[in-house]
């Protein structure tokens, strides 16, 4: 005989405060060590940085205690630590470029500014969004916003073509990557759409060769969304983002339907665009060559970036050169696309693996919230957001270490780039909100439902 037991999660707010403090301290320590390692003296703005970090963690802690008192205690500290290490590594790149080359680089300051913006937006979201299920009401609005955001770089007067990709827009002098925000919108859309269709997607439809195929009427809109994403991103020639959206799409379908057949269908759907891109698009063909054989004599010059990245990783070795001791200026885009080589060169394999562990823990917490949450929409959204983070880390680190062909994605929280950082903070706020819902004890859940959303759509009746 079996019985069902419920465990209540403990809020652990004090532990979160402690972890936030340690995370901020480690970030500031890394920043200080970068100055000590490169110039032999503490950075001039160390005091400002410390105070800024202190203010941000106090704001985060208060916001969580006030608005999400049962939230997961480790999500925000991990975000703060990754962000802090990222700023330190970018400052290392800056100082190396300023010291060893004639170019002047100033990316760390911008990153600090964007961190502030990201944290403020995350806190605002925690206050504005009392219940993640409110997002489900706007499923189709998010679909349209995601589509518009993805289309924006194709608009002639907004576009800002850089490095062969039309994924940037330029508003009032600031470059922005709308695909980052679109990622969140599309995740919400998929979650809202799939939660109402998952039973028909999983059960109705013909069975071919032991694989349950969906009905065309269920499949159509999703296929449309997929084709839309892929088509736009091929026109914008950014395959990393296309891969990210496609992975999100397949993962969320799998979570929604619990059918392995979707992974098979996903792989089948992915092959034609991949083969097309690898054979017909010149720059993708180069990526493939550089993946398989970057160090040979004939490929060496065309694969310079990945080669330099590999030399950086080798220079770091097991223990690393210490913060401020590496030469990240030797690697093109050592502050953004190739921040991982900067990190691995300066902290070594041991430090880089610690950072990868942090990512794994963050993703695990997202998936844990997805399992614990009591509504299907929350499950799908948390799983989708967690999966996107994991996929980004895999694609970036895998590309740099030659596990897969290199594609241009950003490493969450580490890479320099305002849009990516701000969107990752928004994702973190959503995860905090959902983990709060997942861990809230049952009695309080009733109270919150009664007061927060009186006309919540009846989950049971749908």
Partner 1 sequence: MSELTILVLRIALVLGLWLFVVAVLLILRNDLFGTTVVNRGTKPDPRREQRPSADPAQAASLRTDPSVIATALVVTAGPLRGTTLTLGRTPVLIGRAPECTLVLDDDYASNRHARVFPQDDEWMVEDLGSTNGTLLSGTTIEGAVPFRPGAQVRIGRTEIELRRGPR
C-alpha to C-alpha distance for 374 and 401, rounded to whole angstroms: 39
Place of tokens 């010291």: 99
Contact present, 121 and 424 (Cβ < 8 Å): no
Query: What sections of 373-441 are H helices per DSSP?
Result: 376-400, 418-439
Of residues 43, 153, 240, 323, which one binds partner 1 by CB under 8 A?
323
Contact present, 375 and 239 (Cβ < 8 Å): no
C-alpha to C-alpha distance for 407 and 395, rounded to whole angstroms: 7
The residue among 19 and 290 lying less far from partner 1, judged by its C-beta, is: 19
10 binds partner 1 per the rule CB under 8 A: yes
The residue among 369 and 385 lying less far from partner 1, judged by its C-beta, is: 369
Tell me which stretch binds partner 1 (CB under 8 A): 25-33, 109-117, 185-193, 330-338. 25-33
Residue 45: CB partners within 8 Å, gap ≥ 6? none
Tell me which stretch binds partner 1 (CB under 8 A): 20-28, 139-147, 259-267, 423-431. 20-28
The residue among 11 and 247 lying less far from partner 1, judged by its C-beta, is: 11
Place of tokens 């993946």: 291
Based on its alpha-carbon atoms, the radius of gyration of the chain, rounded to whole angstroms, reads 23
Contact present, 71 and 368 (Cβ < 8 Å): no
Contact present, 90 and 335 (Cβ < 8 Å): yes
79 binds partner 1 per the rule CB under 8 A: no
Span between the terminal Cα atoms of the chain, in Å = 32
8 binds partner 1 per the rule CB under 8 A: yes
Q: What is the dihedral of CA 338, 342, 348, 349, to 10 degrees?
A: -10
Q: Specify the 3-state DSSP secondary structure of 336.
A: coil
Number of other residues whose CB lies within 10 A of the CB of residue 57: 24
74 binds partner 1 per the rule CB under 8 A: yes
Size of the site for partner 1 (CB under 8 A): 62
Of residues 129, 361, 404, 448, which one binds partner 1 by CB under 8 A?
361
9 binds partner 1 per the rule CB under 8 A: yes
The residue among 150 and 352 lying less far from partner 1, judged by its C-beta, is: 352
Q: Supply the minimum distance, in Å, between the C-beta of residue 347 and partner 1.
A: 6
Residues numbered 29 to 68 that lie near partner 1 (CB under 8 A) are 29-30, 32-33, 36-37, 40-41
Contact present, 65 and 77 (Cβ < 8 Å): no
Q: Supply the minimum distance, in Å, between the C-beta of residue 293 and partner 1.
A: 33
Of residues 178, 266, 312, 351, which one binds partner 1 by CB under 8 A?
351
In whole angstroms, what separates CA 98 from the centre of its chain? 29
Of residues 192, 316, 376, 417, which one binds partner 1 by CB under 8 A?
376
C-alpha to C-alpha distance for 220 and 440, rounded to whole angstroms: 37
Residues numbered 239 to 278 that lie near partner 1 (CB under 8 A) are none
302 binds partner 1 per the rule CB under 8 A: no
Of residues 350, 403, 452, 457, which one binds partner 1 by CB under 8 A?
350
Contact present, 151 and 352 (Cβ < 8 Å): no
106 binds partner 1 per the rule CB under 8 A: no
H or E element at residue 175: strand 174-176
C-alpha to C-alpha distance for 189 and 182, rounded to whole angstroms: 10
Q: Supply the minimum distance, in Å, between the C-beta of residue 36 and partner 1.
A: 5
Residue 322 gets the label, from left (phi > 0), alpha (psi -120 to 50) or beta, of: left
77 binds partner 1 per the rule CB under 8 A: yes
Of residues 240, 316, 348, 399, which one binds partner 1 by CB under 8 A?
348
448 binds partner 1 per the rule CB under 8 A: no
Of residues 192, 240, 320, 326, which one binds partner 1 by CB under 8 A?
320
Of residues 106, 161, 293, 447, which one binds partner 1 by CB under 8 A?
447
Tell me which stretch binds partner 1 (CB under 8 A): 77-85, 211-219, 236-244, 281-289. 77-85
Give the residues lining the site for partner 1 (CB under 8 A).
Answer: 1-10, 12, 15, 19, 22-23, 25-26, 29-30, 32-33, 36-37, 40-41, 73-74, 77-78, 81, 199, 203, 319-320, 322-323, 347-348, 350-351, 354-355, 357-358, 361, 364-365, 371-372, 374-376, 438-439, 441-443, 446-447, 459-461
């Amino acid at each position: 005989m079996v019985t069902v037991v419920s465990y209540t999660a403990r809020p652990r707010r004090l532990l979160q405060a402690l972890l936030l403090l340690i995370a901020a301290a480690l970030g500031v320590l890394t920043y200080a060590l970068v100055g000590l390692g490169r110039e032999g003296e503490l950075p001039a703005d160390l005091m400002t940085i410390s105070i800024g970090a202190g203010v941000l963690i106090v704001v985060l802690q208060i916001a969580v205690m006030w608005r999400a008192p049962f939230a997961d205690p480790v999500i925000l500290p991990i975000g703060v630590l990754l962000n802090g290490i990222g700023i330190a590594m970018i400052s290392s790149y800056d100082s190396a470029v300023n010291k060893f080359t004639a170019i002047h680089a100033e990316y760390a300051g911008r990153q600090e500014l964007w961190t502030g913006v990201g944290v403020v937006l995350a806190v605002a979201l925690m206050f504005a969004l009392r219940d993640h299920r409110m997002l489900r009401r706007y499923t189709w609005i998010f679909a349209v916003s995601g589509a518009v955001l993805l289309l924006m770089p194709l608009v002639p007067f907004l576009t800002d073509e850089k490095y062969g990709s039309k994924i940037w827009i330029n508003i009032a002098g600031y470059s922005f990557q709308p695909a980052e925000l679109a990622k969140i919108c599309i995740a919400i859309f998929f979650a809202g759409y799939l939660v109402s269709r998952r039973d028909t997607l999983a059960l109705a439809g013909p069975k071919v060769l032991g694989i349950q195929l969906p009905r065309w009427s269920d499949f159509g809109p999703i296929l449309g969304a997929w084709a839309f994403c892929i088509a736009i991103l091929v026109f914008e020639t950014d395959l990393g983002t296309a891969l990210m959206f496609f992975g999100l799409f397949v993962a969320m379908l799998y979570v929604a339907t619990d059918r392995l057949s979707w992974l098979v269908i996903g792989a089948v759907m992915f092959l034609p665009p991949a083969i097309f891109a690898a054979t017909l698009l010149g720059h993708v063909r180069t990526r493939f060559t550089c993946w398989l054989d970057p160090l040979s004599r004939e490929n060496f010059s065309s694969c310079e970036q990945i080669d330099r990245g590999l030399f950086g990783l080798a220079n770091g070795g097991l223990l690393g050169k210490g913060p401020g001791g590496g030469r990240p200026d030797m690697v093109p885009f050592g502050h953004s696309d190739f921040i991982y080589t900067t990190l691995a060169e300066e902290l070594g394999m041991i430090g880089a693996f610690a950072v990868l562990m942090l990512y794994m823990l963050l993703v695990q917490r997202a998936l844990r919230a997805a399992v614990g949450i009591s509504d299907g929409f929350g499950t799908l959204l948390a799983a989708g957001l967690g999966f996107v983070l994991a996929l980004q880390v895999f694609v970036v680190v895998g590309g740099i270490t030659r596990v897969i062909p290199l594609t241009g994605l950003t490493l969450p929280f580490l890479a320099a780039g305002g849009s990516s950082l701000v969107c990752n903070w928004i994702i973190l706020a959503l995860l905090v909100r959902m983990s709060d819902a997942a861990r809230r004890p049952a009695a309080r859940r009733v109270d919150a439902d009664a007061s927060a959303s009186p006309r919540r759509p009846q989950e049971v009746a749908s």
